Amino acid sequence: MKIGNFEIKGCAALAPMAGVADRAFRELCIEFGAAYVVTEMVSSKGLTMHDRKSDSLMLLGETEKPAAVQIFGSDPATMAEAAKKAAETGCCAIDINLGCPAPKIAGNGGGSALMKDPDLAARITEAVVKAVELPVTVKFRAGWDENSINAVPFAKLQESAGAAVITVHGRTRRQMYAPPVDIDIIRQVKEAVKIPVIGNGDIVDPVSAKNMYDVTGCDFIMVGRGALGAPWVFNQINEYMKNGIILPDPPIEERMEIMVRHIKSLCENKGDYVGMREARKHAAWYIKGIRGAAALRQEIGSLETVEQLKAIAEKVIKAANSSVTI
């Protein structure tokens, strides 16, 4: 798939998950085969007001390319100004968030709330397209709720507004992340527009990835929660799509090494205090499903140092290689 002049080589992209898809995780997913990454959503208002946190969310590492910067907001002029600033990061595209279901975002008229006002959403995209030379992509949902599934006409308006690529998450805002995901709506969008379509929603392994491609005919896929604690899922998807082979998960020892390396990178980027507190959720994802994981939840919940994390990793490895429960 191409986004503007950038060719995306591979089978799956990393979704722009707030609080998760930071630089450390994006770089790790690229290492494990992600073909394309998108930053956490960045407030357009924050960017135009020179907010330091907003600026930091856009920092791109040398290895995480091609990458897009995702922005959100509800005012076309502010979004256009924010896009200009985002374009200075060296990203390959500007992605517009039209699908975030979080009350804090949707409640202020951004994210998925814009699906209730397709004309405003189109004006936002049009303003951003005019403001930057980079390709502009958009990500949205099936609709606001089950009574207003409007992804197809919404996609057509976005295409007319100049969007280069659209990503569709097959759930409504009301669903948040609850099942089921409707991938048929993604198929309908793909059939309705001429620009590339990326399918998103419940892609957790090679089989679900292939099913998304087969059922929808989409041009590309985007993995979100399926990569949490399992960045190697991209290599598994690539191998299955190319050769029909399902690679096993890495051995426990390797998984723990990846976890520690991930958290070290997180701390290097954000400092130990913030990094170790964010490490708690990542550590819980990395050990999910492993023997004795439940017994370590309290210990993980109070992580403060990398040394403590290493000690937990050693306990996990020991338990996995013996019949002894942690």
Provide the β-strand partners of residue 72: 43
141 in Cβ contact with 168 (< 8 Å): yes
Q: What is the rounded distance in angstroms from the CA atom of residue 202 to the CA atom of residue 222?
A: 10
Residue carrying the six token digits 């959403």: 121
Q: What is the pTM of this model?
A: 0.93
| Cβ neighbours around 161 below 10 Å, total | 22
300 in Cβ contact with 236 (< 8 Å): no
* pLDDT digit string (tens) for the chain, length 326 residues: 888 888 898 999 999 999 999 999 999 999 999 999 999 999 999 999 988 888 889 989 888 889 999 999 999 999 999 999 999 999 999 999 999 999 999 988 999 999 999 999 999 999 999 999 999 999 999 999 989 899 999 999 999 999 999 999 999 999 888 888 999 999 999 999 999 999 999 999 999 999 999 999 999 999 999 999 999 999 999 999 999 999 999 999 999 999 999 999 999 999 999 999 999 999 999 998 887 777 788 889 989 999 999 999 999 888 877 754 44
Show the CA angle centred on residue 241, arms to residues 238 and 247, nearest 5°. Answer: 60
Q: What is the rounded distance in angstroms from the CA atom of residue 137 to the CA atom of residue 125?
A: 9
pLDDT digits (tens, 9 = 90+) for 91-111: 999 999 999 999 999 988 999
24 in Cβ contact with 281 (< 8 Å): no
Tokens of 123: 């004006």
pLDDT digits (tens, 9 = 90+) for 239-248: 999 999 999 9
Q: Which listed CATH number (2.40.50.140, 3.90.1150.10, 3.50.30.40, 3.20.20.70) goes with 2-243? A: 3.20.20.70
Amino acid residing at 68:
A
Would you list the domain boundaries of the chain? Answer: 2-243, 252-320
The domain 252-320: what is its CATH number? 1.10.1200
Task: From the candidates 29, 91, 100, 267, give the one annotated as an active-site residue.
Answer: 100
Residue 100 annotated among the catalytic residues of the structure? yes
Tokens of 95: 């992605």
